[in-house]
Chains A and B, each alone.
Chain A
Amino acid sequence: MTVPVHLRHDETFVLNLGPQHPATHGVLRVKLTMDGEYIVKAEPVLGYIHRMHEKLAEGGTFAQFMPNTARMDYLHALAFNHGWALVVEKAAGIEVPERAEYIRVITVELNRIASHLLWWAAFLLDLGGFTPLLYAFDDREKIVDLLERVTGSRLTYCYLRFGGVYNDIDDEFIAGTRDFIKRLRGRMPRLYHDLVTHNIILIKRIKDIGFVSAEQCRRYGATGPVARGSGIDYDIRKNEPYSVYPEFDFDVPVFDECDSMARYMVRMHEIEQSMRIIEQALDKLPAGPVMGKAPKVLKPEAGYYYSAVETARGSLGHRLVCNGDKNPYKLKLRSPTFSNLSLFGEVAEGMLLADALAFMGSLDLVIPEIDR
């Protein structure tokens, strides 16, 4: 997008958005060159919460990196657990018992709902609506309680293990999950859609704002709801199924409008689809052990391994290089929002400040995951 003619003069100023700014959800900094309220150039500056997880991975054993994974995307921590478990299981050839796979899917999907709810809450906060935030937190709290029951922690779960999960789920968890799904289904139409989705102010605010074309998504490598909001039918759970996802009947919501509203709708529909997956998984939950046979000390064969999972924000890839040692030789984390954010600069050019922030909110940024 080129800068409109009326903006092509030199009365610009630089607005430093962040690293401590309410809209950047953490410590992202965006250097905006502005002309009045129009953005001439937007340049995200990263690294304010960089912790060098890739080096930390090289320094410890495979198992010792597991707690770190949850600290990157603290909103969908279990998917990061899952991604790391999958790539190591792939490399070391570890089998996972079926019950553990089901439990993984249930917890990861619950976590996905929690992540989308929190995104929704934070997005509405970006748009100045504070009340929906607390309604969403009320629901999210239920999920967090459920997950605390099985994982022992509330945010940075370290639940998955190579070859299974840390702890079996009990009847109370199953009953609680069913109750939660019933409750969320009851609250969704009224507190989420009637109050917010159909609200004319919100519609006017995010419809036709933040246009990201499918081609832009491809060139920038944007995945997840951002790509699906641009009409790209791409969900790793369907396209290259992992775990036991092929056994469930669910849809991948795709919207063609390419605007913030489309991304919003994708996420709202994904909540429903995740609930469907959880229900099916609970129905089909097989009995059996939750931990498979895994050697205490992992020494995967030397080689190159790649594994991808679908997190709430898009495709998370682990590029693992092993040299036959008990430490990962090299781990590269392909985090979804790193790529999703990289298109911000191009799209935000020529936008109004308020629209750009609404667009940024619709990208669903989790800064620790970008900076790793």
Chain B
Amino acid sequence: METSMWRALLYLVGLLAFAGVNAAWLGWCERKGAARIQRRIGPCEAGFAGLLQPLADGLKLMSKQLLVPQGVDGIIFRVAPVLAMIPAITSLAVIPFSENIGARAMELSLLLLFALASIGMIAILLGGWASGNKYAIISAARSVSQNLAYEIPMLLTVITVVMISGSMNLREIALDQQGGFWHWNIFRLEHGHFLTMWISFIIFFICSVAETNRAPFDMAEAESELVAGFMTEYSSMGFGLFMMGEYLNIVVGACLTATLFLGGWDCPFGLTPGIWWFLLKIYVLIFTFIWIRWTYPRTQIYRLLNLSWKILIPFSMANLLVTAALIKVF
């Protein structure tokens, strides 16, 4: 009993620290990455290479007044940013960082993750709706239709992974892929899954970009159309929490992608598996998120729905069938 309590406390502190550090410094990474792509320097004044910039930003945000405009739904308006943050942190509890590091290895952890992701979407909806701002409401509506459209292909691709691994436990899915990159779901030689799984991976990745409302699918906060979308009326840490929630969602998305497709903590050459491989993988994926954001213009809401319904869903369906056939036949 005693040890399990210490363990819980350790994970609580550890995960909160991980979440906090990521939420703060991913903003720095994003700014630095964007700056490099645009041939600028980026933050450079606060600390070495601007590393203290997140602290300065945080201080600034916290010292600002939390404005609650007239006519907003006060309670929901205040709850929404928290609601955006909490599911993202909670999701980290079921992520297996390595064979022995992971707060909870639940049987249905995959299902829990998707349930929590939907709550994040509700937070955006509530925030936008409660603001009573027309831009925010449009943004909330966009965000919901976008998320609904993307959960379907995402879940369809996840089902293929579940079929291959035979489990919905993230730890077991990762364990199933140990022993070198040819065991990873994306390149899996067994049953010839590599034929279809790379498509699944791409679909899953596109969907997770869309799920996290990142460019080029950032219609919900399209700054040139909707000012700041659902965040228009938020100031101070209300805004800060939404920002942190966004980055944490990226982290969770990257963790999930790494676990489902890239073998979790496995070393590509089957040598020394461990948490460092996992971290390397998720940061490469996160960098890709940043890279994509600073390369493309924003798409249009109905183009996005077209992409989902006309391309991603048929492809993921076909993938599902082919994977099932491969498992059954070989």
Mark A residues whose CB is within 8 Å of B: 13, 15, 21-23, 34, 36-37, 124-132, 134-135, 138, 195-196, 199, 201-202, 204-205, 352-355, 357
14 examples of A-B residue contacts, CB within 8 angstroms: A37-B141, A128-B216, A128-B218, A128-B223, A130-B294, A131-B34, A134-B39, A201-B296, A201-B299, A204-B299, A204-B300, A352-B302, A354-B301, A355-B300
Residues of B within 8 A of A129 (CB): 295-298
Point out the residues of chain A lying under 8 angstroms from B224, CB to CB.
22-23, 125-128, 357
- Chain A residues with CB under 8 Å of B300's CB are 204-205, 352, 354-355
The answer to whether residues A127 and B297 also contact, given A21-B227, A22-B227, A205-B303 and a CB cut-off of 8 A, is yes
Asked whether A23 lies within 8 Å of B296 as measured between CB atoms, the reply is no
Q: Which of A13, A131, A132, A195 has the most CB of B within 10 A?
A: A131
Would A134 and B40 count as touching, CB distance under 8 A? yes
- Whole-angstrom CA separation of A196 from B298 in the bound complex: 12
Q: Is the interface on chain B under 10, 10 to 19, 20 to 34, or 35 or more residues?
A: 20 to 34
CA distance A337 to B40 in the complex (A): 33
What 1/0 mask marks residues of chain B from 272 to 310 whose CB sits below 8 Å from any chain A CB?
Answer: 000000000000000000000011111111110000000
| Residues of B bordering A, CB below 8 Å | 34, 37-40, 134-135, 138, 141-142, 215-216, 218-219, 222-225, 227, 294-303
A13 and B38 CA atoms in complex are apart in Å by 39
Residue of B nearest to A127 (CB): B297
Known: A131-B37, A205-B299, A357-B224. 10 other contacts (CB 8 A): A21-B227, A23-B225, A127-B297, A128-B223, A132-B297, A196-B297, A199-B297, A352-B301, A354-B219, A354-B301
Name A130's closest neighbour in chain B (CB-CB). B294
Closest 10 CB pairs of A and B: A128-B298, A129-B297, A127-B297, A134-B38, A23-B224, A126-B224, A22-B224, A131-B294, A201-B299, A128-B297
On whether A131 and B225 interact (CB within 8 A), knowing A199-B296, A205-B299, A205-B300, the answer reads no
Residues in A whose Cβ lies below 8 Å from that of B34: 130-131
Residues on A with beta carbons closer than 8 Å to the beta carbon of B301:
37, 352, 354
Residues of A within 8 A of B295 (CB): 129, 131, 195
Docked complex Cα distance between A76 and B195 (Å): 55
In the bound complex, residues from chain B placing their C-beta under 8 Å from that of A36 are: 141
Least distance between A110 CB and chain B CB atoms (Å): 23
In the complex, the chain A residue whose C-beta lies closest to that of B228 is: A22
Cβ-defined partner of B298 (8 Å) among A34, A127, A138: A127
Q: Are B294 and A201 in contact (CB under 8 A)?
A: no
Write the chain B residue with the least CB distance to A202: B297
Complex alpha-carbon distance, A15 and B34, angstroms: 32
Q: Give the residues in chain A near B134, CB-CB below 8 Å.
A: 13, 15, 34
A354 touching B39, Cβ below 8 Å? no
**B295 to chain A: closest residue by CB:** A131
Nearest Cβ distance between residue A120 and chain B, in whole angstroms?
12
The 8 Å CB contact of B216, one of A13, A135, A201, is: A201
Of B38, B223, B296, B301, most buried by chain A (CB within 10 Å of CB) is B296
Q: Which residues of A contact B223 (CB under 8 A)?
A: 22, 128
Specify the chain B residue showing the minimal Cβ separation from A195: B295
Q: Are A128 and B39 in contact (CB under 8 A)?
A: no
